[in-house]
Amino acid sequence: MKIAILSRNQNLYSTQRLVEAARSRGHEANVIDHLKCNIEIEQTGPSLYYGDHYLEGYDAVIPRIGASVTFYGTAVVRQFEMMEVFSAVGSRGIIHSRDKLRCLQVLSREGLGLPKTVFTNYSRNVEHVVESAGGAPVVLKLLEGTQGLGVVLAENQNAAQSVLEAFNGLKARVIVQEFIKEAKGADVRAFVVDGEVVGAMKRQGKPGEFRSNLHRGGSSRIIELTDEEKETAIRAAEAVGLGIAGVDLLQSERGPLVLEVNSSPGLEGIEKTTGTDIAGKIIQYIERNVKK
């Protein structure tokens, strides 16, 4: 097969591992910077121009689209789809996952466990908003935040109201979420490929930090998920429309709660923690779905 890996940096761990896994199984793998693609639309059919040539003959594409370039990145993925190229992560799934509010609404519709979440149109009644999320402490998240950026823990009512008023004054879109105390600053990343959890790790925030992101100095260890946790992760990925997803869960007294569904989950943390060839699992998923 001929596989396109959409990535802005060919030296990233995830990109290198996907290239390595594809080539080790006898496939051609090319890294393409999606921001340098020209999308051409005409009556004779869709095409993509890259560098000095048209992208032709591809059987599959693996999108690694950063949050800051979601609009153009998904347009390129959609163009591949229009060219009848199999996408390991569909354009609609990427868009759904990047809209945190929409994603939570979809998960709620499917009856999946979630921290109670409140979103308003800059309501002045911030006291009611905080109380609706269960009261302080609460977590406030910018809708556009990634890797733990734009996430604030407000430990008391006054702090919560002040932070929310500040965000509202800046016209910054935020959601207010219930704080799950029993999680103790840890969450679970379940890596789902083609309807199966292929790896899982528990991430713990560094001392004094409630965010568990590895990018922020958190640590990780391999974990065996319960059947309920596996089912929740698989259902969450399916609900958002993702064949590949990093599903972040909180372990709560009322069962697993979905925090986020990531459409471009990094491979480094999960592979090094679990010792599993996740990149190889992704290539096998493509092989099962591309008919030659």
| Delimiting residues of CATH 3.30.470.20 domain(s) in the chain | 182-263
**3-state percent breakdown (helix, strand, coil) of the chain, nearest 5:** 35, 25, 35
Quick one: 104 exposed, middle or buried, by C-beta within 10 A (0-12, 13-18, 19+)? buried
Q: What pLDDT, on the 0 to 100 scale, is given for residue 188?
A: 96
Pairing of the two strands 53-54 and 47-50: antiparallel
Q: What pLDDT, on the 0 to 100 scale, is given for residue 150?
A: 79
Quick one: 131 exposed, middle or buried, by C-beta within 10 A (0-12, 13-18, 19+)? middle
* pTM attached to this predicted model: 0.90
Q: What is the CATH number of domain 2-89?
A: 3.40.50.20
Our measurement of the distance from residue 28's CA atom to the centroid of its chain's CA atoms, rounded to an integer in Å, reads: 26
Angle at 243 between CA 73 and CA 257, to 5 degrees: 100
Residues of the chain with pLDDT under 70: 145-148, 207-217, 292
**Residue that is written with structure tokens 């609404």 in the block:** 105
CA distance 135 to 79: 45
CA distance 113 to 110: 9
For 236-289, give the DSSP string. Answer: HHHHHT-SEEEEEEEEETTEEEEEEEESS--SHHHHHHH---HHHHHHHHHHHH
CA distance 184 to 181: 6
Per CATH, the architecture of 117-179 is what? 2-Layer Sandwich (3.30)
| Delimiting residues of CATH 3.30.1490.20 domain(s) in the chain | 117-179
Q: What pLDDT, on the 0 to 100 scale, is given for residue 209?
A: 59
Q: What pLDDT, on the 0 to 100 scale, is given for residue 291?
A: 74
Q: What pLDDT, on the 0 to 100 scale, is given for residue 76?
A: 98
Pairing of the two strands 186-193 and 196-204: antiparallel
Centre a 10 Å sphere on the Cβ of residue 160 and count the other Cβ atoms it contains. Answer: 27
Centre a 10 Å sphere on the Cβ of residue 41 and count the other Cβ atoms it contains. Answer: 10
Residue 117 · residue 140 · CB < 8 Å: no
- At residue 58, the 3 state secondary structure works out as coil
Q: What is the CATH number of domain 182-263?
A: 3.30.470.20
| Delimiting residues of CATH 3.40.50.20 domain(s) in the chain | 2-89
Q: What pLDDT, on the 0 to 100 scale, is given for residue 144?
A: 72
Strands ordered across the beta sheet of 28-32: 28-32, 2-6, 60-63, 86-87
Residue 8 · residue 32 · CB < 8 Å: no
Q: What pLDDT, on the 0 to 100 scale, is given for residue 151?
A: 87
